[in-house]
Amino acid sequence: MKIEYLESRQRLILGGAVALSAAAGLATAAGAGPVARFVLAGLALAGTAAVVGEAIEAVGERVGPSLTGLLQSTLGNLPELFVGIFALHQGLTSVVQAALIGSVLGNSLLVLGLAFLVGGLRHGTQRFEPELPRLISSLLLLVVAAMLVPTLAAHLGSPAAKHSTALSDGLAAILLFVYLASVPYFLAHSPRLTPPSTLPTEPPAPAQAPKPEAWPLKLSLVILAAGSAAAAGAAEWFVGPLQAATTSLGLSQTFTGLVVVAVASNAVENAVGVRFALRAKPEYVIATILNSPLQVALLLTPVLVLLSGVVGPSHLTLVFPPLLVVALAVAALVVTVIIYDGEYTWIEGVALISLYAIVAAAFWWG
C-alpha cells in the first residue's frame, strides 16, 4: 500500500485496526479472562468495520450515491453476519434477534441522528431527493409486518403458532425476493447530487499540506476484502467469551445484542455517513446510512433465519419479543415522518438520538 494515498486519519484507523486485532488475537491465544477478550475483540471488530467504511468511502468518490450505499450496506454488514453465524452456532438466538433489531435501530436512529445533528449544525437545513428514502422507509415497514405477523401469531395462540419455523422460513424467502427485486431499482434510480451552487459557502481555509491522492479503485477493493476477512476473525473472538463476559459485567443478553453487539459490529463503519454530512452531501448521507438497516432487515435477517437450521442447535425464527418489534415499528414510523419532506435539520437529529436512548434504556434490564 502506497503511503501517499493515506491521510493521517486513515493511517490512524488502519494502524489501530491492526493493533487491536493483534491484541484480541493474542488475548484469545493466551486464554485471558472473558471480559478482557470480549472488550478487545469488540474493539477489533469496530476497528475492522471502520477500515471497511474507509474503503467504501474511497469507492464512493468514484461512483454515485446509490452504488456507494449498496456497497456500504452489503459489505459493511459482513461483520454482523459473521457475529450472527458464530452466535447461532453457540445457541445464542436471543442475542442474534436483539442484535438484528439493534443494528436497524443503531443506524436509522443513532447514526442517522448524529449525521443530521452535525450536518444541520454546520450547514443548516439540508435537502435531498426524497423518492428513494421514502421507498427505503416503506420497505422497512414491510419488514416490521413480516416480524409482527409471526410474533402476534405465536403470542395470541393462533393455529399458525405451531408452525412458526415454517412460517418464518416462508417469510424469509419473501423478504429475500423483495431485496433482490429492489437492488436493480435502486441502482437505476440514483438520486441527483446536490448542485455545487446550492452548497453553503465557507470562508477560505488556511493553507494546508497537499491532500493525498484518491485511493485507486483496485486498492480500495483490496482493503475491502482484507477488512472483511479480518472482521470474520474478530467476530469469532468476540462471540466466544460473550456469555461469560456479559454475566460478569451484569449485562442482559438482550441489551448486549441490542446495543453492544450492534454498535461494535455494524454502526461504527457507518460513521462514514456522518463525514458525508460534514461535507454537505445529504444524498450520500441518506444512501449510506439508510441502506444499511434496510439490508439488515431484507437480506441479513432472512439469511440468518434460513442458515440457522444448519449452523446452530436451534432455529432462528421471526417470532421476536414483542417489545423489540414495537421498538422497530416506532423507529420506522419516526424515520418515515422525518425524511418524508426531503430535508433534515439538526433538531431532527436530536429527536432520533433521543429515541434511540429511550429504546436502549427500556432494554437495560433485559
Cα separation of 112 and 335, whole Å?
Answer: 9
Instruction: Name the DSSP class of 190.
Output: P
pLDDT tens sequence across 220-276: 777 877 877 787 788 888 888 988 998 888 888 889 889 888 887 765 556 678 888
- The predicted pLDDT at position 164 comes to 92
CATH superfamily of 3-194+215-362: NCX, central ion-binding region (1.20.1420.30)
- The predicted pLDDT at position 88 comes to 92
Taking only Cα atoms into account, the Rg of the chain, rounded to an integer number of angstroms, comes to 20
pLDDT of 68 above 80: no
- What is the per-residue DSSP string for 287-312? HHHHHHHHHIIIIIHHHHHHHHHHHS
Cα separation of 24 and 146, whole Å?
Answer: 38
Map grid coordinates 461504527 to a residue: 268
Cell digits of residue 280: 454537505
Cell digits of residue 176: 429475500
pTM score, whole prediction: 0.82
Q: How confident is the model at residue 200 (pLDDT cuts 50, 70, 90)?
A: very low
Percent of the chain with pLDDT strictly greater than 70: 83
pLDDT of 197 above 60: no
What is the pLDDT averaged over residues 93-117? 92
pLDDT tens sequence across 143-175: 999 999 999 999 998 898 899 999 999 999 999
What is the pLDDT averaged over residues 37-50? 86
- The HSE-up count of residue 281 (CA atoms within 13 Å, CB side) is 20
Cα separation of 255 and 44, whole Å?
Answer: 20
Domain boundaries in the chain?
Answer: 3-194+215-362
